[in-house]
Amino acid sequence: MSFLALPRRVLSGTNTFSLARAYSTKAPPTSASLPPSKQKLIPTSGSYPKGFLVSGISSAVKKSGAKDLALITSPEYPCSAAAVFTKNVFQAAPVVASRTRLQDNGGKGIHGMVTNSGCANAVTGSQGLENAKEMLEALDDLTGHQRSSLVMSTGVIGQHLKMDKILKGIQDSKQALGGDHKHWMDCAEAYMTTDTFPKLRSKTFQLPVSGVEYRMAGITKGAGMIHPDMATLLGTIVTDLGVAPGLLQYALTHAVDRSFNAISVDGDMSTNDTVALLANGGASQGKIVVKDVTSKDYEAFRESLTEFAQDLSQLVVRDGEGATKFVKVSVEGAPSFEAAKTVASTIATSSLVKTALYGQDANWGRILCAVGYSGVSEIDPTKVSVSFIPQDQSEPLKLLVNGEPEQVDEARASEILKMEDLEIRVELNLGKEKTAYWTCDLSHEYISINADYRS
């Protein structure tokens, strides 16, 4: 991941992530048609940052007529910010346009983000880049602040945007802007492609020194083509806390390494992935509050952001295409954070592990096999332990202890694997570092969804 340190009030850019998902022409399911486990993930209220106005409308890009154009604006206060982009070589036009805008912003700050779903504007050549620039200019005109906008797109690759509809939609969105829960829900719905529910979160938090209450809100999308660095995933997090741009980038890097870059659905990396973090200082009339990377306030903000990003990113896994299970892979006792993450990632992306989870088969040898080929040279087979941890707080099931297999209770293993949520815990006994990775199973339905994606 590479970063761009830009002046105060300007976004710092980052280079991570991947492509926007091809858009399904089918209309999204209604909340009433969702299983209870997903219905409970849709918020009915929220606490949203001061100074931000948002909207989500249909510009008729999607054949289904579903919402497909989202605006997030800070009309009064310029935002300092940080961003992370895909590492995919075929970077989409909106990725190129936004990165360039961040570099050329001239210290004016960012006032808005426009996102469309239904067309990725990826692999679209020079015309695609011109279309992305037109979207930026249209949002600049709407907010009244030139060269102060960012753009994201998600949908089918290799198709051009219907610019007449997009530009009219941006103009029409001005009347739809607002700051209440309904506006935020509309905005989240406009991000969706194969998602089965809008992924929106908000929260309040305090800093230890100032004691003032601040707010944070975030929207993400993604259900397939999900794998670090960032996969077919878009995300925007905003806060009304004023944070210096460089510090904001440090905080985002820390948070993304432990959230959006620690999830996997299918191991495929996309071309449009972007996660942006905007801080407008709306709770302090636009003033920068957090300026010192060594301060307790910065540390508290970073940890609050990390927890928030983890919550958001896990919604993507819970909505994984065809997924029936939400699985946390924990690796403890590693010699370094990087080693722990490598082992966790290898387990989480193993097709054999994921299909065994779908089949409710306690084939823990597949987990151990993944640990063995992870490439972490320090691993000592005689020190490794593996357990299933049920999420109902009942007794863990030990599978391997210090390299020695346990007499596994198959009935108990089957009981745990029938649960929707479970944890695979691996202890390396090589150090004190640990991390977690979130994944899902791999089902017949995943194949059906992706075989029928554009039909």
For tokens 């994201």, name the residue: 152
What is the C-alpha separation between 117 and 192, in angstroms, rounded?
7
- For residue 182 the two structure tokens come to 């309904």
CB 227 within 8 A of CB 267: yes
What is the C-alpha separation between 131 and 167, in angstroms, rounded?
10
Task: Give yes or no: 232 in active site.
Answer: yes
What is the C-alpha separation between 318 and 312, in angstroms, rounded?
10
- For residue 438 the two structure tokens come to 């979130």
58 is in an annotated binding site: no
429 is in an annotated binding site: no
What is the C-alpha separation between 420 and 39, in angstroms, rounded?
15
Give me the sign of the Cα torsion angle 25, 30, 34, 40.
Answer: positive
- For residue 204 the two structure tokens come to 């309040």
What is the C-alpha separation between 48 and 237, in angstroms, rounded?
11
What CA–CA distances, in Å, run from 31 to 36, 43, 365? 9, 11, 39
420 is in an annotated binding site: no
221 is in an annotated binding site: yes
What is the C-alpha separation between 163 and 341, in angstroms, rounded?
42
What CA–CA distances, in Å, run from 29 to 67, 79, 197, 234, 331? 13, 35, 8, 20, 36
- At 379, give phi and psi (nearest 5°): -60, 130
CB 36 within 8 A of CB 192: no
For tokens 């800070």, name the residue: 74
321 is in an annotated binding site: yes
- For residue 163 the two structure tokens come to 């610019």
Name the catalytic one among 196, 232, 342, 435: 232
- For residue 410 the two structure tokens come to 């198959």
The radius of gyration computed from the CA coordinates of the chain, to the nearest angstrom, equals 22
Q: Please give the helix or strand (H or E) that residue 347 lies within, else none.
A: helix 337-348
What is the C-alpha separation between 95 and 20, in angstroms, rounded?
10
232 is in an annotated binding site: yes
- For residue 432 the two structure tokens come to 């004190």
Give me the sign of the Cα torsion angle 85, 88, 93, 99.
Answer: positive
- At 330, give phi and psi (nearest 5°): -105, 130
Annotated binding site for substrate: 193, 221, 232, 321, 450, 455
Residues designated catalytic: 232
Annotated binding site: 193, 221, 232, 321, 450, 455
